[in-house]
Structure 1
């Protein structure tokens, strides 16, 4: 009979809730005598987590919003430290949310509790000195990408590359015809997916730009169609406003970005995690990004990486075109994307190699690494 194991986890948003639920499932499969405490969302609660408070209280985006909620966040973290130290879990796993979790991990580790951080912050790209705090705060870092593990290795942080759950979830070959049928799109003829980002500020900067690029693409390729998944009702309203006065054969979708990616031939996409989804769907892409001129000047000095998009970071070469800031004009985007509607094999062959490298049954790998840390693997 294996002894009872008490595992504490804290996730701060929906993506962390998905990762946490998968990890909890894999831990239960290996160690049925396990109890879960901490903070998580509905998926983690369904796997048996008793949550100290609703996960939504941690999910804050943007600097101004964080400042407004800072007293509450700090109070919740103080209370959580006290509650967890008295609960004495065998291990604490902080899932993403580094601004909240790393301080928590540091305090718990100093109190003698083993700590794991699941999902690396982008220390390899900027604010690299944070790796010193990570080394103090956690016994083990679990990364989704291999280049992150190389960075931690080089900085003497115990690390395990576990692969990416999305690479497990998305099939190596995606059925384009079925996706088009589901979206009532014609079976033949080119379709381009436009993904200008999920935040209001991104859509404000990139939405109109992407639609202007679409107008130019249509002039180059008559018969082309467009799909644009909207991340929320607010984003949909924003995009409907931007569409006024533009004549485009475009279907707006509520969510369903995976279906849009499956249905299309090529993608015009904002830099961000959606580029990984496009890569896993094996769809050639052009990546664009714009920030305010001031932010751009600051980031240009801070960012250490030669690329901004995940496909290029994973390929360790310029696999997909990146049009950043002033280079991102409607004309340049259309001209760069047009050849990918028939070509694009160089990209898709590269994507296939990356998909196989990331498809490792991430939840099982993460569970094995945690149990090994506890001397039970």
Structure 2
């Protein structure tokens, strides 16, 4: 049986890769899947080599804190490649580790399929030349990236964006309100504080501060808790804030995105999901001071939110670093909710995302590429 080695080090990568593994099962493609991935990939057959939660780090300081762990991971992967090489390596985003693993695989002649390109167009543009050198094929999910790959001769395929397959609204607004005991006569404001503990520490207190600013009896406040964050940390932050009138949403994120009137979303994949669903929202980004100062020197684009980048327009507000505070968040929320014209304009602009991302089924496109590469 042929073996595929996967690296999906983030929650979003676990989700996007899981639909590919599921499609392989549906098409009765029997391969051995090993490597790095989360609970969704494990559900569809991945045998993990390392604890998934150890990979959820972001920013320079956070990576340094976990340096010994990552050195050990690379050492074990190199050993596996030498002693029992896979037939194909599939690397999913996560460039800090994956670019180095691509180099190891390339040296040993193991085919590399890179699924979800590193965002070289935002920073470290020279990575595009490494991608050309170290990968056999690149499957990208943001349409505008194609012009770069064509220009520099990177063998690549647009496979559609996986969120088109992944987003599923399972219950309507009435059912959602009943499940979480939400007052339907009020406006609903939702907060998504991120899928990593370090994001939670920086952003959730600011979101709770915004709730204090907005708490005039006219709103219901909903806060999402991702499976990948510490439940005790999440609860401790809320307890310390003294806020008791917020609803914690754990299993119905897409429904929360759909049924709320407005959201505050931590920068990342969730911003594109929210935009695809079409609810007006605000993007928030906050990291450590050192990571932020370093990032400012290298990032080459004016926008941080994927929806604004993909649509090439400032559709939704972006709050960055010190702008992420209770007063600023509440002010931006009220500015949108108080203007019907502004609110409807955001909704209208977000609808364009469906046309831009197209109708390709990512899972099917990926299975085609995997089959082609395994049979070369």
Q: TM-score range by the shorter chain?
A: 0.7 to 0.9
Distance 2:160 2:133 in 1: 24
Aligned pairs for 1:317-336 (under 5 A) are 317-336=313-332
Which residue number in structure 2 is paired with residue 128 of structure 1? 125
Which residue number in structure 1 is paired with residue 298 of structure 2? 302
Residue of structure 1 aligned with 2:103, choices 102, 106, 113: 106
Say which one has the larger Rg. Answer: 1
Deviations 1:70-101, CA, capped at 9 Å, x for gaps: 4421321221211343x5x2x33223333333
Which residue number in structure 1 is paired with residue 241 of structure 2? 243
Distance 1:209 1:20 in 2: 32
In the alignment, is the contact (CA less than 8 A) between 1:208 and 1:242 conserved in 2? no
Deviations 1:302-341, CA, capped at 9 Å, x for gaps: 1111100111111111010112233344333222212433
Distance 2:327 2:42 in 1: 49
Q: 1:80 to 1:18 in 2, by over 3 A?
A: farther
Q: 1:52 to 1:127 in 2, by over 3 A?
A: same
Consecutive aligned runs of 4 or more in structure 1 exceeding 6 Å deviation: none
Superposition deviation, residue 63 in structure 1? 1.5
Distance 2:236 2:334 in 1: 26
> Is residue 358 of structure 2 the alignment partner of residue 353 of structure 1?
no
Deviations 1:156-192, CA, capped at 9 Å, x for gaps: 2122221222221224898333322222112222010
In the alignment, is the contact (CA less than 8 A) between 2:123 and 2:299 conserved in 1? yes
Q: 1:223 to 1:101 in 2, by over 3 A?
A: same
Which residue number in structure 1 is paired with residue 20 of structure 2? 23
In the alignment, is the contact (CA less than 8 A) between 2:90 and 2:114 conserved in 1? yes
SS in 2 for 1:350: helix
* 5+ long unaligned stretches in structure 2: none
Aligned pairs for 1:358-373 (under 5 A) are 358=357, 359-373=359-373
Distance 1:84 1:372 in 2: 22
Which residue number in structure 2 is paired with residue 68 of structure 1? 68
Q: 1:60 to 1:227 in 2, by over 3 A?
A: closer
Superposition deviation, residue 366 in structure 1? 1.4
Distance 2:65 2:171 in 1: 39
In the alignment, is the contact (CA less than 8 A) between 2:162 and 2:361 conserved in 1? yes
Please report the RMSD computed on the Cα atoms of aligned residues, expressed in angstroms.
Answer: 3.0
> Is residue 180 of structure 2 the alignment partner of residue 183 of structure 1?
yes
In the alignment, is the contact (CA less than 8 A) between 2:263 and 2:279 conserved in 1? yes
Distance 2:308 2:117 in 1: 18
Which residue number in structure 2 is paired with residue 208 of structure 1? 205
In the alignment, is the contact (CA less than 8 A) between 1:236 and 1:252 conserved in 2? no
In the alignment, is the contact (CA less than 8 A) between 1:174 and 1:262 conserved in 2? no
Aligned pairs for 1:46-125 (under 5 A) are 46-49=43-46, 51=47, 53-54=49-50, 56=52, 59=55, 61=57, 62-85=62-85, 89=87, 91-125=88-122
Calculate the TM-score normalised by the size of structure 1. 0.84
Which residue number in structure 2 is paired with residue 290 of structure 1? 286
Distance 2:327 2:114 in 1: 43
Distance 2:264 2:48 in 1: 41
SS in 1 for 2:66: helix
Superposition deviation, residue 208 in structure 1? 2.8
Distance 2:175 2:95 in 1: 39
* 5+ long unaligned stretches in structure 1: none
Deviates more, 1:325-334 or 1:134-143: 325-334
Distance 1:153 1:280 in 2: 27
